[in-house]
Amino acid sequence: MKKLTLLLAMCFVVLSLSGCQFSNLDSDNLMRPPKASGDGQAIQEALDRALGSGYVLRYPRNGIHRSAIVRADFDGDEIDEAVVFYRAATDAGGTRIALMDKTEETDVWTVVYNSKGDGSEVERVILPDFDGDGSAELVIGWKTYTGSNIIAAYIYSEGQLTSVPVTEPTSAFGVSSSISYSELEAIDIDGDKRDELLIASIDNINGLSSVKMAEYLTVSGAGSLGVSGEITLDSSITGFSGSVSGQIAPEVYGMYLGSYRGTAKITTDLIVWDKDKAALAAPFMTLKEPFVRSGDTSPQDIDGDGMIEFSSDVEMPSFSVENGEKLYLTTWLGYSPDSEALAEKKQTRIELPDKGYAISFAEEWVSKVTAQRNNDDEVYFYSYNGEVLGDELFRIKTFSVEEWDEIESEQDEEIEYKYRAIHTDSYSVFAVLISARAQSEGITYAEIEKSFMPLE
């Protein structure tokens, strides 16, 4: 541990002597991007040739594409193009788009399109396939100077990045309209082999929340994204907190929405396609008790079955301890359209993302075991009979690798109650100390080791 502290101190001195200022290590202050390798280096060198040295890369704030350089095959030639978001040195604000391409003949990246963006920042980037031709289109969610989010869509063909109007049904002449959104996803929700845009928003006038569906239409050779469907959500929704789209059940695709209903807790809502009615549906709105969670835990595929699950949680009973931290028992559920509850329990666990792990709870633990964390590296597990907290069963502590080496050398092999490692990574050792009470309850080291789940 002393060696590690000394090494960190030496690194700090070297950086200080070299003139580095930590306050300048902001993504928007990187006047030149970090040196890349391979094809990434070729893109960077082409950017430098086209833009000079005085540009600042701009990074999308949300979504799955967070890089300032987004690559995809936009024209169907099986060679990726690259979209770059940046601010020119001469611009006081705003973000520009540069599209880069290369041919098999020259194998050289060049800037083929350059334009001012529609907003001050890139809120998110989506790469849908609106027309079903197998190549990607480009959708950019722009953050405007007024703070709202608007949608811009583009198709790249024959060296040109063409803007695709986004229209409301009332736009009889196909005039481009800036549709605002709170959450934005693209997915083939209706099974027609073409992606649709799902646009969640709250009307500033009447306060009602809704999800619109926009699909790609071609009229007289001109394409546009037209809003073809809409569903109004619960009137108690006051805001949104993230969205995730994908496969949610066998042959079912949809969008999970995190919604606020006047409290700090987040409710999970779901948007799917009703085949019988040929319209959007929100099945969770029919439930008497919504699925609520306290944290902003995004829906994800937690069991590797290729389908996205969502979570609900409850606060765990604990002793009243100063500086104690609340822990929540999180239940992960999968959408089950044929069941009365519309959900199937997949996994129950305590999640500690800051420590990089979760503890899976067996069904018999749920009503008999609770946990508490006292703002240190240890989590304590106690017996619980539904009303009163009992004895400590076991505790899990995080050690650095250096600390664990010292612990192992000091622990007597003959001692029955001692820390035992249950997981190790490059930096940490996670160890458990089991009490006699736990052993009398049949809780074993092997069981706890099996319940330990590293989080990515």
| Placement of tokens 């996994």 in the chain | 347
Would you state the pLDDT for residue 170?
Answer: 54
Question: How far is Cα 271 from Cα 294, in angstroms, rounded to an integer?
Answer: 21
Would you state the pLDDT for residue 413?
Answer: 67
Question: How far is Cα 413 from Cα 426, in angstroms, rounded to an integer?
Answer: 25
- 3 state SS of 91: coil
Please list the ranges in the chain whose pLDDT falls under 50.
1-34, 36-37, 171-176
Residue 189 per-residue DSSP state: -
Question: How far is Cα 321 from Cα 363, in angstroms, rounded to an integer?
Answer: 27
Would you state the pLDDT for residue 41?
Answer: 84
Would you state the pLDDT for residue 429?
Answer: 95
Do β-strands 328-335 and 310-315 pair in parallel, antiparallel, or remain unpaired? Answer: antiparallel
Q: C-alpha distances in angstroms, 124 versus 97, 106, 143?
A: 13, 32, 9
Would you state the pLDDT for residue 320?
Answer: 67
pTM, 2 dp: 0.83
Q: C-alpha distances in angstroms, 452 versus 299, 318, 360, 382, 402?
A: 21, 21, 6, 17, 21
Residues with Cβ within 8 Å of 108's Cβ and at least 6 positions away in sequence, in order, are 42, 46, 102
8 A C-beta contact, residue 153 and residue 137: yes
- 3 state SS of 28: helix
Tally helices (H) and strands (E) across the chain.
6, 29
Tokens (6 digits) for 383: 């017996």
From the list 250, 334, 241, the residue with the least C-alpha distance to 293 is: 241
Would you state the pLDDT for residue 404?
Answer: 93
